[in-house]
Structure 1
């Protein structure tokens, strides 16, 4: 019985391989082995974004999700990001939103913000909750 299943699997595999080769030629989707592959897969993902495939109800959403996973895996292998600490993120957000220390009521007074930026104080859960709501970010990014 097991031998029969292997024979059937081989026949199915041959069909899958033919279909996969045709699909790769037609779509450009494949394992990302180098920067050229990366650029082609990113272009395909961008085209899918343009037609609305990020929406989970879109017919091509599953294809977009697979491409996004391939892109993410390649990025993780080749472009490791340094860990960003909550204070570094706070500095970045302040710069991007052109904010001064006295414009962060989620943290408190200017002196409290200054102490946090100087490393003399840590962000509290209350600070993080307020900042994540203000900037539309997950609280996890501050930890």
Structure 2
């Protein structure tokens, strides 16, 4: 597939579809590089078209999980256990500062978006 800039919603959806098709390619493979480039392009499009202040932290996290092809189990390293992942995604537990730092470092997620929203004030 030819990788190019994303200019509209149709191209955005096509890039999301391609990311899903790629699944989890072998590190260093051409497919891995394509997935990394597509992810950067998707993030750029999202930042330009869906301003951070409008995003709900949990919806942002769920969207990024979808884009990156992650399941709840993939978030365990950032939350400690499956129970914490489930509680956060179901809005029964707020994101902690430790979670936000781990998600930013490990997945490159926007800390600004993750800390936004009064319902999800950080806990230490």
Q: TM-score, normalised by structure 1?
A: 0.41
